[in-house]
Amino acid sequence: MFDTAPALRAILGLVHGFTDREGGVSAGRYASLNMASKWGDDRDAVAENRRRVATAAGFEIGRLRCIRQVHGDAVLHACAIGNESTADALWCRREDGLVVGVLTADCVPVLLADAAGTVAAAIHSGWRGTVADIVGRTVRRLADAGVSPGDLRAAIGPCIEQAAFEVGPEVAAQFEPRYVISGSARPHVDLLAAVRDQLEGHGVPPRAIDRIGGCSHANGTRWFSYRRDGAGIGQMLAFIGFATTAAED
């Protein structure tokens, strides 16, 4: 249903995870743990899938906050979002009592929290967000909230890897050459390496960064992939926060 990261599991009171596509009620192309109705899945099925994840993770589903993602670089506090808000990263404080989440189906999901368990953030970093350094913007926003980058713990979830991420030359040109392989008919970009380097470059200790899962494109039974299957498929949820179930309050 979802995987967790060693670097984040050690933080007291934190809930987090990267969902896969197993253990839900959605059918057909959305089977089975689809976490969004964006591409046509039944809303009741998606609601039940989210409820199952929340129950397994130990938080009330009403405390989950997601936002419409636009492949940009905006980072918003979860308490400040409205119905028309757009962003590709959300963060919260422990006292907010919320869980923040982002949806992916190939893009890079990143979860952050500090070792003391005071803040948490979820980031959606597609190729545009990676070029815009949304990871760095999020780290800086948490620094503005009083958290040193050196105190952060990070996890990078399932995403498309370089072997499968074929792009046009106009996209490849926006990345440093070290992230691009140009030996085939079209270049391939290593988003995973770029995101990891951004975390480290903004002060997150290398030993505090976990990679969870594998290539979303390569394993169709485990993860959804837009590049592999096109629109009309499911999405995974990367979630993190401090909200607990009522029984644990």
pLDDT tens figures, 97-118? 999 999 999 999 999 999 999 9
Q: What does the pLDDT read at residue 139?
A: 98
Q: Measured over all CA atoms, what is the biggest interatomic distance in the chain, rounded to whole angstroms? A: 56
Residue 246 scores a pLDDT above 80 = no
Residue 247 scores a pLDDT above 50 = no
Q: What does the pLDDT read at residue 76?
A: 98
- The pTM of the full predicted model, rounded to 2 decimals, is 0.97
Q: Which residues contact 16 (CB under 8 A, 6 or more apart)?
A: 4, 5, 8, 57, 111, 113, 120, 155, 239, 240, 241
Q: pLDDT tens, 124-180?
A: 999 999 999 999 999 999 999 999 999 999 999 999 999 999 999 999 999 999 999
Which tokens is 205 given?
């200790």
Residue 249 scores a pLDDT above 80 = no
The CATH class for the domain spanning 2-238 reads: alpha beta
Alpha carbons 103 and 158: distance in angstroms, whole number: 11
Alpha carbons 102 and 234: distance in angstroms, whole number: 13
The residue whose two tokens read 């905006």 is 74
Q: Which spans in the chain are helix H?
A: 6-9, 43-57, 127-131, 134-144, 169-172, 191-201, 226-229
Q: What does the pLDDT read at residue 184?
A: 75
The domain spans of the chain are: 2-238
Q: How confident is the model at residue 245 (pLDDT cuts 50, 70, 90)?
A: low
Residue 31 scores a pLDDT above 80 = yes
Alpha carbons 120 and 243: distance in angstroms, whole number: 11
Q: pLDDT tens, 173-223?
A: 999 999 999 977 899 999 999 999 999 999 999 999 999 999 999 999 999
Q: How confident is the model at residue 248 (pLDDT cuts 50, 70, 90)?
A: very low
